[in-house]
Amino acid sequence: MAVIAGMILIMDYALVPSGYIRYIIHETNNAGSDDGYDNIIIGASHARSAINPVKLDEAGVSDNAFNLAIPGETVTDSYYLLMESDRHNNVKRVIYDLDYQYWCNYAEREFEDCFIYTWLPFSNVKLKYIADNLLTKDFRTVYSKRWAYEISPSAIMNNLKVKSSAAYRNYSMDAVEIHDAGGPYAAKGFFYRDMKMDSLVPSDIVAWDESGISDKVLDSFEKTVQYCKKNNIELVCVTSPITPTTSVNGYSEQAGAYFTRLCEEYGVEYYDFNLLTMDTLPRTDDDFFDEEGHMLGELADRYSDILASVLLDKCDKSTAFYGTYAQLELAVYENYVTKQ
In the three-class reduction of DSSP (H, G, I as helix; E, B as strand; rest coil), residue 184 is classed as: coil
More confident residue, 110 or 232: 232
**Which of 47-61, 109-123, 167-181 is least confident?**
109-123
Write down the pLDDT at residue 110. Answer: 44
Q: What dotted CATH number matches 2-339?
A: 3.40.50.1110
Phi-psi region at 188: left, alpha or beta (left = phi > 0; alpha = psi -120 to 50): left
Helix (H) or strand (E) holding 190: strand 190-191
Q: What is the DSSP string of 51-111?
A: --HHHHHHHTS-SSEEE---TT--HHHHHHHHHHHHHHS---EEEEE--GGGTBS----TT
pLDDT in tens, 196-244: 887 788 888 889 999 999 999 999 999 999 999 999 999 999 999 999 9
With 90 as the cut, is the pLDDT of residue 153 above it?
no
Contact at 8 Å (CB) between 97 and 44? yes
Write down the pLDDT at residue 111. Answer: 47
With 70 as the cut, is the pLDDT of residue 168 above it?
yes
Give CB contacts under 8 A, 24+ apart, made by 131-139: 133/76, 137/110, 138/110, 138/111
The model's confidence at residue 134, banded by pLDDT at 50, 70 and 90, is confident
With 60 as the cut, is the pLDDT of residue 142 above it?
no
**Percent of the chain at pLDDT exceeding 90:** 65
With 80 as the cut, is the pLDDT of residue 82 above it?
yes
pLDDT in tens, 38-49: 999 999 999 999
**Which of 146-150, 239-243, 254-258 is least confident?**
146-150
More confident residue, 220 or 155: 220
